Amino acid sequence: MLIKHPADVAPSDITPRAVFDARRDFMRSSAIGIGAALLGAGLPDKAHAVAARGKTLGPLVKSPYSTDEKLNDFDDITSYCNFYEFGTDKSDPARHAHRMATRPWTVSIEGLVHKPKTLDIDDILKVAPLEERIYRLRCVEAWSMVVPWVGIPMSALLRQVEPLGGAKYVEFVTHLDPKEMPGTRRQVLDWPYVEGLRLDEAMHPLTIAALGLYGEVMPNQNGAPIRLIVPWKYGFKSAKSIVRIRFTDKEPLSSWTKSNGREYGFYSNVNPEVDHPRWSQERERRIGEFIKRKTLKFNGYGDQVASLYTGMDLKKHF
């Protein structure tokens, strides 16, 4: 997911796709002459993406919520990433995320609930049948992907703790370890990364706890071992590497809203009618394509989710 950098992050830290591809091609060709040893030490993207291929998840249930659009390939999905805990360059997560240990891993679910729990990731894999859901992921700076996520309905996970009647929002807190995550040694954001949803958004059938992609366990750079996917919102809402989920009666202060609330509102629904202050959101470029396409309101999921916002001014509640 591509998100705006704060003022203290240089524009050069944010790599345009064309520059990224050119650099990757150059590095690959240079590696032929330099040798395999240098490849392991210095070439991030595809080398680490291929190394990240994990064990197969299954059996998988085909989801009725999937799009029939053409998928992006595994290499694109795993080598062009936003995961600022590992660095602000799009290749940084593939280069550094292998440092993060994903076993053991637990997720605590707490707050306004009847039965707070701490669940091991392997127990979460058994909460509900694993579904393959082919979703569009739309990012703020006008690019998108189509990803075959593997996961379970977030609602199935959240119901484990029986939310109290006063719970109105769900906060998601992500893993933080500066030894594993070199990007957190810089104050790009106020770590750990925090995101939030309204309770009805979190419980919506489209919202999933993603545990893998392309039928395999989640690569580290894409948010292993468990991440949030909310396909009608901009990608930064889909928090990665979750360690804590908290039910609350107050709207959580998400990391990007805290960093720059003028540009990143709490809802962050994909909306071509609401421009980012520094660029238009009317059109997007699918990774791997040259021609831009029209941005769809709610990322094309309006039939399923528009009713969640009946009566709301979506230019005010952006």
Q: Residue 38 has what pLDDT? A: 31
Residue-wise pLDDT for 1-56, tens only, equals: 444 444 444 433 444 554 445 444 444 434 433 333 333 333 344 555 544 578 99
Q: Residue 314 has what pLDDT? A: 95
End-to-end CA distance of the chain: 18
Q: Residue 276 has what pLDDT? A: 86
Calpha distance 158→277 (Å, rounded):
35
Residue-wise pLDDT for 50-84, tens only, equals: 445 789 998 999 999 999 999 999 999 999 999 99
Q: Which domains does the chain have, with CATH numbers?
A: 11-309 (3.90.420.10)
Residue-wise pLDDT for 145-165, tens only, equals: 999 999 999 999 999 999 999
Calpha distance 141→225 (Å, rounded):
26
Q: Residue 136 has what pLDDT? A: 96
Residue-wise pLDDT for 78-116, tens only, equals: 999 999 999 999 999 999 999 999 999 999 999 999 999
pTM of the model: 0.85
Q: Residue 103 has what pLDDT? A: 96
Residue-wise pLDDT for 223-263, tens only, equals: 999 999 999 999 999 999 999 999 999 999 999 999 999 99
Q: Residue 30 has what pLDDT? A: 40
Model confidence at 264: pLDDT above 70: yes
Calpha distance 163→161 (Å, rounded):
6
User: What's the Cα-to-Cα distance from 245 to each of 119, 146, 156, 161, rounded to whole Å?
Assistant: 11, 26, 14, 11
